[in-house]
């Protein structure tokens, strides 16, 4: 009830002055430049919006939304690296909550989801990992939810959510709801 949502299928909104009228942007697309070209000015506008105090939520493959833009890792914390193995095979895995004291994870206990466990994220930007999972393929631990504060902004990034089934896990739904509320400052 605290959210009013506007859905846009046009990434051109990212370059619009109207962006400042939103409390948060929920980015859930991979920009294949040939299909949906997004100008550098649009990405810079998003960067200014977040650095100025706006919220940003990056969902699933949104980690690759602007991989061709060098500044994206500063907003996303971690980005898709096409040189890495993309993800474990689709299947069930345990998500371990590390920081139950953060508003995005408050009241959420460890949970199992069925999805792709992303193993393809890279970056050196300082992040606070809220949840993680262990790959069944490489036995490494990978972040499943984290936050960062570019400038005055709030970013919640969660690579979970491959499809509707993956979003049906109660923990995933709560993570996205609470992470979005936190990013929006609500």
Q: Model pTM greater than 0.85?
A: yes
SS3 14: helix
| Res. 90: pLDDT tops 70 | yes
Spatial CA neighbour of 32 closest among 71, 82, 77, 73? 82
pLDDT band, very low/low/confident/very high, at 62 (cuts 50, 70, 90) = confident
pLDDT band, very low/low/confident/very high, at 31 (cuts 50, 70, 90) = low
Q: Which of 16-25, 26-35, 115-124 comes out lowest in average pLDDT?
A: 26-35
String of DSSP letters for 97-127: ES-TTSTTTTTPPPEEEEE--B--EE--S--
Geometric angle at alpha carbon 99, from 155 and 80, rounded to 5°: 45
SS3 182: helix
Determine the Cα–Cα distance for residues 113 and 131; give it in Å rounded to an integer.
13
Output the pLDDT for position 131. 98
Judged by phi (left if over 0) then psi (alpha if -120 to 50, else beta), residue 183 lies in: alpha
Output the pLDDT for position 64. 84
Determine the Cα–Cα distance for residues 26 and 156; give it in Å rounded to an integer.
9
Mean pLDDT of 89-111: 96
pLDDT band, very low/low/confident/very high, at 40 (cuts 50, 70, 90) = confident
Predicted confidence (pLDDT) per residue in 145-158, tens digit: 999 999 999 999 99
Q: What is the mean pLDDT of the chain?
A: 91
| Res. 144: pLDDT tops 70 | yes
């Amino acid at each position: 009830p605290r959210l009013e949502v506007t859905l846009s299928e046009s990434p051109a909104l990212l370059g619009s002055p109207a962006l400042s009228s939103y409390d948060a942007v929920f980015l859930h697309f991979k920009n294949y430049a040939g299909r949906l070209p997004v100008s550098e000015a649009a990405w810079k506008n998003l960067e200014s919006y977040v650095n100025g105090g706006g919220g940003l939520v990056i969902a699933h493959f949104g980690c690759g939304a602007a991989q061709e833009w060098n500044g994206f890792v500063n907003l996303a914390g971690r980005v898709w690296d096409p040189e890495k193995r993309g993800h474990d095979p689709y299947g069930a895995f345990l998500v371990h909550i590390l920081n139950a004291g953060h508003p995005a994870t408050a009241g959420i206990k460890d949970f199992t989801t069925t999805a792709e466990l992303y193993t393809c994220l890279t970056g050196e930007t300082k992040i606070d990992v809220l949840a993680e999972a262990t790959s069944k393929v490489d036995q490494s631990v990978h972040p499943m939810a984290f936050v960062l504060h570019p400038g005055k902004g709030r970013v919640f990034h969660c690579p979970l959510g491959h499809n509707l089934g993956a979003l049906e896990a109660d923990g995933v739904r709560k993570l996205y709801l609470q992470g979005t509320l936190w990013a929006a400052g609500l």
